[in-house]
Every structure is written in structure tokens, then in C-alpha cells.
């Protein structure tokens, strides 16, 4: 699941704090998915072969999917033992960066969060899963259209396959909106109507509708990416921080701050959790998986009061996503590929992770229609998964870039200059774009 890095806070992986949904449903029947054209040249694993120990490196709570998968995978491959090695979100990615750089202490299978895909894909230390004997591009049609390209580098090599995604949604407190006399449609209309309605909510209830004004910036730049472009760079890899797209995003954030509708707190902080409990957050834009957090630990006492709605202005954006990759120096690539295929294209484990953890499936087939139609008690019986299914089908693809992390840091600092120090938007973006050009070396 994603991580959605907050532009004005220290980057935090949402998986590092994601709670696990209660385990109350039976395991579905075993089913192995055979993907045409994706079989390995070196053939299937032989059941009579000596035991293979496959090391899988991951991070919370992406690692929970591996734990769910182990008993199912053992039924298919009794000769394979899965050794799960898990570190905290930043520690894991730092360890994998060091391992790739030194060629030592590498796992057989590597879990990666979307914020790191560009960096790892361009490192050239991962197997190209699009080439033989993997031929992963033959499986592309199984995935949500925006998800598969995110694991590719600038040359089109497939560095990683997606396991889950995070369709964005607007969660809102129905009771607080009712008290303010504001309708959900006012919040989800234009960006301007969102800000106007949010001012009314603030005046009538005292509650904020944004964790930070930077939320609007983040949503806008992610939902307005043109085909073939990256979040911060155009098709040719040139920085585009001084484009009208970023200008509008910064202006929206500045307008939200001026309207006093943002709580000025960082997601996943103690203050953020307390804001939910105190009822001082009337809405929160984030991935669909937040419903599980709200239910289990963020705001269980408000069950029945929360609802889900589309993002404002007809925006579609992804909050997070997790991937699996295979290091080039791995010694057990056949076993590693079989496991990666299972975790990313097997309907049973994808559906199970969706049910138990709220990890939205990367493959379309795992969107079980009966499950999508089930009312969600916490959301007042709303069939919100249908909303998220529609969003997942309409999210634009982002082209990852190895310098995305650098660009994110620079734009975060520029936005702080605008929000905290009243620097003019145009000047902040011009300076940021010039700085990014100096830092980028192609």
C-alpha cells in the first residue's frame, strides 16, 4: 500500500503504521493462476528437488501479505521454505539501497514501496522482469492500467511488479457536515467549492477538512499527470516545477492556508491521531485503505459517522502501492520468480490481502464483485468499495524517475516558503526548478 509522502513533513511510509484488519473470515479455496506467456524458460520448480529457502525482505505492513501467503504457497510448493526478513519502512529501504550498492546481504525477493521505485529501477541492480525468461510484459493486461508502468524504468525495463495499490478517496464525517449544513457534493465539486465549503465547516463546527494545506498540492500534481510524463519531470526528463500544473497546485495550497481550513499537522503523528479522536478533522483525503485504520485504531468510536466520496474536482490519484523485485545477483531466481508471480498475479492471495488487510489488489481479477458490493458497517453501510473500484480504473499512470526523491524534497521546501514565509508562488517555483536542474545529472 502506499505510502503517500506528505510534502511538508518527514516522509513516512503508511505501511509502517498500517494496522491489520481483524482476521475473521475463512481462507478461500486454493487456486493457482497460470499466466500465459509468463512461464520461465527454466521450467517449473520440481517438487522432488531439495528444499529451497527463499529469503523475502519486506517492511510493515506489506510483510503481512507474505505471512498470509506462506501457508497457501506451501501447498503449491512444499519444497520451498519462505524466510521473511522485515525491517521498518525507512530501515528496510536503506538496507536494500546499501545491499544493492555493495552486492552483499541481498534477499532473493525484495519488497519496495512506490516512493522508492524510481530510484531502485534506475539503479540497474534489479532483474528486468520484462525480458526472458520472465516475460512479465505478457501479464500487463492483468493489472490496473496505471499500476504496471510504475515498476518500469526510463528504458521500459520492468524492474518490479505491483502487488497492491491505493485508490484515493475523500473520507468525511457525515455528522459534522450535517451540523454545518454542508453537503458532500459541495466538498467534492470544484477545488474552489471544496475550500468554500470547508470554511463553512470550520466556522460552524470548529473542525478542519485538511490535515495540511499541502494535501491539495499533492493531490493536484498526482491527478493531473499527462500520459508518459512523471510527477516532476516531462517525457524528456526535464524538470517541470515551473509549469502551470505546479503553479495551480501551489495556489490551491496557499488558498487553503489563507482560509484556515488545515490543521497544520503531519499524518501519522500523535497530533493527527488525537485530531480524529477529538472530532477536529471533518474529512481526510487518502487511500481507500484508511478505512481499515479508522475502524481499528484511529477513530473506532466514530463508527457509522464516516463516509467515503470521490476526490474533489473529479480528481483520481493513487495513495501508495507496493512492489516485488528480484536482485540481479540473486542465486535462486527461478524460485524467486515463482514467488513474485504468486504474490502479484494470484487471485487468491490478492483477494485475501484485500479482505484481511485492506490492501487493494493490483490485479483487476481480484476485485471480487460480491466483496465490492458488501456494505461497510463502519461507513454507515455504504458500499464504498464500488467507489474505489471505479477510481482504481481511472487513475493516471506516473512514470517513475530516479530523481523523484530529490524533486520531492525541493518542492516541499518551496511550498514551505510559500505557506510559512509568504514567498510568491511564481518565485518559489522558479527557484525550485532551477535548483532541481542543478541537482539532476542525466
Cβ burial, residue 204 (10 Å; 0-12/13-18/19+)? middle
Residue % of the chain over a pLDDT of 70? 88
Q: Provide the grid cell at 1.
A: 500500500
Domain match, 78 and 222 both: no
**Rounded Cα distance, 279 and 208, in Å:** 9
In a domain, 4, yes or no: no
User: For cell 510483510, what's the residue?
Assistant: 63
- More confident of the two residues 89 and 48: 89
pLDDT of residue 50: 54
Centroid of chain to Cα 87: 18
Domain match, 23 and 85 both: yes
Is residue 100 predicted with pLDDT exceeding 60?
A: yes
Task: Compute the radius of gyration of the chain from its Cα atoms.
Answer: 22
Q: Is the CB of residue 377 less than 8 Å from the CB of residue 306?
A: no
- The count of domains in the chain is 2
pLDDT digits over 173-213, tens only?
Answer: 999 999 999 999 999 999 999 999 999 999 999 999 999 99
User: For cell 489563507, what's the residue?
Assistant: 258
Domain match, 52 and 124 both: yes
Is residue 49 predicted with pLDDT exceeding 80?
A: no
pLDDT of residue 3: 40
In a domain, 9, yes or no: no
pLDDT of residue 44: 52
What are the φ and ψ backbone dihedral angles of 330, each rounded to 5 degrees?
Answer: -60, 145
**Largest Cα span, the chain:** 70
Tell me, what CATH number does 77's domain have?
Answer: 3.40.190.10
What are the φ and ψ backbone dihedral angles of 441, each rounded to 5 degrees?
Answer: -130, 115
Domain match, 310 and 379 both: no
User: How many other C-beta atoms lie within 10 A of the C-beta of residue 269?
Assistant: 15
Q: Which of 33-42, 54-63, 404-413 has the weakest average pLDDT?
A: 33-42
In a domain, 360, yes or no: yes
Strand pairing report for 306-309 and 360-361? unpaired
In a domain, 75, yes or no: yes
Domain match, 52 and 151 both: yes
Centroid of chain to Cα 34: 27
pLDDT digits over 270-318, tens only?
Answer: 999 999 999 999 999 999 988 888 988 899 999 999 999 999 999 999 8
What are the φ and ψ backbone dihedral angles of 268, each rounded to 5 degrees?
Answer: 75, 5
Is residue 33 predicted with pLDDT exceeding 80?
A: no
In a domain, 66, yes or no: yes
**Rounded Cα distance, 291 and 358, in Å:** 8
In a domain, 7, yes or no: no
Q: Which of 16-25, 131-140, 229-238, 409-418 has the weakest average pLDDT?
A: 16-25
pLDDT of residue 318: 87
Q: Is the CB of residue 163 less than 8 Å from the CB of residue 343?
A: yes
Is residue 18 predicted with pLDDT exceeding 60?
A: no
What are the φ and ψ backbone dihedral angles of 431, each rounded to 5 degrees?
Answer: -65, -40
Q: Is the CB of residue 291 less than 8 Å from the CB of residue 157?
A: no
Task: Please name which of 380, 395, 376, 384 lies closest in space to residue 308, comparing C-alpha atoms.
Answer: 384
The CA-based dihedral angle spanning residues 106, 19, 167, 261, taken in that order and rounded to the nearest 10 degrees? -120
pLDDT averaged over every residue in the chain = 87
In a domain, 290, yes or no: yes
Q: Is the CB of residue 59 less than 8 Å from the CB of residue 163?
A: no
Domain match, 252 and 325 both: no
Name the domain boundary from 374, 392, 410: 392
pLDDT digits over 143-178, tens only?
Answer: 998 899 889 887 889 999 999 998 999 999 999 999
Domain match, 276 and 408 both: yes
Could you tell me the residue range of the domain that residue 20 belongs to? 14-166+319-392
pLDDT of residue 40: 43
User: CA of 318: how far to CAs of 220, 285, 338, 381, 395, in Å?
Assistant: 11, 11, 27, 24, 7
Domain match, 327 and 313 both: no
Is residue 133 predicted with pLDDT exceeding 60?
A: yes
Name the domain boundary from 377, 392, 407: 392
Domain match, 209 and 305 both: yes
Q: Is the CB of residue 146 less than 8 Å from the CB of residue 391?
A: no
pLDDT digits over 102-119, tens only?
Answer: 988 999 999 999 888 888
Burial 272-286 (b: 16+ CB within 10 A, else e): bbebbeebbbbbbbb
Domain match, 287 and 363 both: no
Domain match, 214 and 307 both: yes
Average pLDDT of the segment spanning 344-359: 91
Average pLDDT of the segment spanning 24-39: 34
Burial 53-62 (b: 16+ CB within 10 A, else e): ebbbbbbbbb
**Rounded Cα distance, 407 and 119, in Å:** 12
**Rounded Cα distance, 256 and 199, in Å:** 9
**Would you place residue 442 in the very low, low, confident or very high pLDDT band (cuts 50, 70, 90)?**
low
**Rounded Cα distance, 72 and 397, in Å:** 31
pTM: 0.79
In a domain, 1, yes or no: no
Average pLDDT of the segment spanning 225-241: 90
Domain match, 220 and 303 both: yes
Amino acid at each position: 500500500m502506499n505510502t503517500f509522502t506528505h510534502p511538508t513533513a518527514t516522509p513516512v511510509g503508511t505501511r509502517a503504521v498500517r494496522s491489520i484488519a481483524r482476521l475473521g473470515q475463512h481462507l478461500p479455496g486454493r487456486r493457482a493462476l497460470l499466466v500465459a506467456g509468463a512461464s520461465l524458460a527454466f521450467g517449473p520448480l520440481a517438487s522432488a528437488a531439495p528444499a529451497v529457502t527463499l529469503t523475502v525482505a519486506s517492511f510493515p505492513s506489506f510483510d503481512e501479505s507474505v505471512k498470509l501467503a506462506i501457508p497457501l504457497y506451501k501447498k503449491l510448493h512444499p519444497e520451498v521454505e519462505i524466510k521473511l526478513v522485515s525491517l521498518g519502512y525507512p530501515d528496510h529501504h536503506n538496507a536494500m539501497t546499501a545491499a544493492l550498492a555493495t552486492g552483499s546481504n541481498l534477499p532473493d525477493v525484495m519488497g519496495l514501496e512506490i516512493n522508492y521505485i524510481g530510484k531502485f529501477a534506475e539503479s540497474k541492480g534489479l532483474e528486468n522482469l520484462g525480458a526472458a525468461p520472465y516475460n512479465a510484459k505478457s501479464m500487463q493486461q492483468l493489472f490496473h492500467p496505471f499500476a504496471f508502468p510504475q515498476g518500469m524504468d526510463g528504458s521500459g525495463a520492468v524492474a518490479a511488479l505491483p502487488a497492491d495499490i491505493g485508490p484515493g478517496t475523500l473520507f468525511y464525517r457525515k455528522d459534522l457536515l450535517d451540523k454545518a449544513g454542508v453537503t458532500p457534493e459541495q466538498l467534492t465539486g470544484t477545488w474552489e467549492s471544496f475550500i468554500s465549503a470547508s470554511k463553512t465547516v470550520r466556522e460552524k463546527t470548529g473542525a478542519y477538512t485538511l490535515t495540511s494545506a499541502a494535501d491539495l498540492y499533492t493531490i493536484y500534481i498526482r491527478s493531473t499527470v499527462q500520459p508518459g510524463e512523471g510527477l516532476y519531470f516531462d517525457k524528456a526528463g526535464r524538470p517541470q516545477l515551473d509549469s502551470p500544473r505546479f503553479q495551480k497546485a501551489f495556489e490551491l495550497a496557499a488558498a487553503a492556508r489563507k482560509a484556515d481550513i488545515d490543521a497544520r499537522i503531519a499524518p501519522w503523528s500523535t497530533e493527527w491521531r488525537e485530531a480524529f479522536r477529538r472530532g477536529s478533522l471533518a474529512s481526510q483525503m487518502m487511500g481507500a485503505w484508511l478505512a481499515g485504520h479508522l475502524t481499528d485504531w484511529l477513530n473506532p468510536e466514530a463508527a457509522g459517522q464516516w463516509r467515503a466520496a470521490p476526490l474533489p474536482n473529479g480528481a483520481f490519484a493513487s495513495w501508495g502501492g507496493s512492489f516485488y523485485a528480484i536482485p540481479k545477483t540473486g542465486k535462486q531466481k527461478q524460485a524467486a520468480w515463482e514467488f513474485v508471480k504468486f504474490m502479484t498475479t494470484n487471485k487468491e492471495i490478492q483477494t485475501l490481502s484485500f479482505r484481511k488487510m485492506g490492501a487493494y489488489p493490483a490485479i483487476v481479477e481480484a476485485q471480487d464483485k460480491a466483496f465490492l458490493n458488501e456494505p461497510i458497517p463502519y461507513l454507515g453501510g455504504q458500499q464504498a468499495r464500488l467507489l474505489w473500484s471505479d477510481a482504481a480504473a481511472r487513475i493516471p499512470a506516473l512514470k517513475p524517475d530516479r530523481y523523484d526523491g530529490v524533486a520531492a524534497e525541493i518542492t516541499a521546501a518551496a511550498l514551505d516558503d510559500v505557506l510559512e514565509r509568504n514567498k510568491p508562488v511564481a518565485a518559489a517555483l522558479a527557484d525550485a526548478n532551477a535548483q532541481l536542474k542543478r541537482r539532476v545529472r542525466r
